[in-house]
Amino acid sequence: MNKIILLIIVLISSNCFSQKVQKDFQLSKILDETSGLEIVDDLFITQNDSGNDPVIYYIDFKGKIVNQRKITGFENNDWEDLAVDDQFIYIADMGNNYDTRKNLSIIKIPKKLDSNDTFESINFKYPEQSDFSYKRLSEFDAEALISIENNLLIFTKNRAKKISDIYILPKTKGEYDAKKIGSLNTKSIVTGGDFNSELNLLALTSTISFDEYYLLIIKNFSLSVKNDYEIDMYEIPIGKTQVEAIKIIDENTFWITSEDESSSSSARLMKIKL
């Protein structure tokens, strides 16, 4: 009997996750609010979110900052994610914590570094939103952006319903009504996203109560969006933190970043294996 009780205690106290953190690097204090992750020219790029400098940071695969790129002419109202295609980087200035913003946009910048860079703005609104009064349980906040074919997709962070509505935008500058094309029953609120076109794989990060964070994996995702995708949900086994960015490497391997949780800790760059 004592052996059985001991075995139960060991199982409860041990880390029983099949998903593992393979690499874990501390980031510079400059990146304490990292909120996006992509790969450009064999370097990660990331950025801080609301109220920080309008800068993209280039970091190596151990988290060291090797370059910075200021996005002149734009403010960092609330930069919440990054997406890339063959030619451009897209910065999602669409954080909208309390459904009060009317200046949502995607900033489009060339991938190639050049002193004569010109940046464009894809401004948008949600046609379903008519009330911009303060709401603690927001429905039109968003922290996940992906590039898919000739389009950008936004995945909302719906605190009220714990779902994610999917909106589509073109990649050309202008003023748009974002078009709703579907919803995902995430049973959590989405905080970051990435899409791999070769794998047709969508990966999202999410949370329920801001204590634990999750990887949401959706296979065979396409622009022919349906509402009944099978969603595989994995807890990220790193304790209390704030994960808002993800990059797909293959079907089972992902890089994520988490924000700095306190003055005594640092933001982190981590490689997760399922």
Q: Enter the DSSP assignment of 128.
A: T
Nearest to 120 by CA among 128, 108, 111: 108
**158-203 pLDDT, tens per residue?**
999 999 999 999 999 999 999 999 999 999 999 999 999 999 999 9
Q: Would you call 230 helix, strand, or coil by DSSP? A: coil
What is the token pair recorded at 186? 């995430």
**40-58 pLDDT, tens per residue?**
999 999 999 998 999 999 9
What is the token pair recorded at 67? 């370059």
* pLDDT value at 121 more than 90: yes
Contact 208/188 with Cβ under 8 angstroms? yes
Q: Give 115's pLDDT tier (boundaries 50, 70, 90).
A: low
d(CA 121, CA 117) in angstroms, rounded, equals: 13
For 167, how many CA atoms within 13 A lie in the half-sphere containing its CB?
25
Beta-bridge partners for 221:
none
Degrees, nearest 5: CA angle 244-193-166: 120
Q: Would you call 5 helix, strand, or coil by DSSP? A: helix
d(CA 15, CA 105) in angstroms, rounded, equals: 41
200-226 mean pLDDT = 93
What is the identity of the amino acid at 243? V
Its pTM stands at 0.93
Across all residues in the chain, what is the average pLDDT? Answer: 91
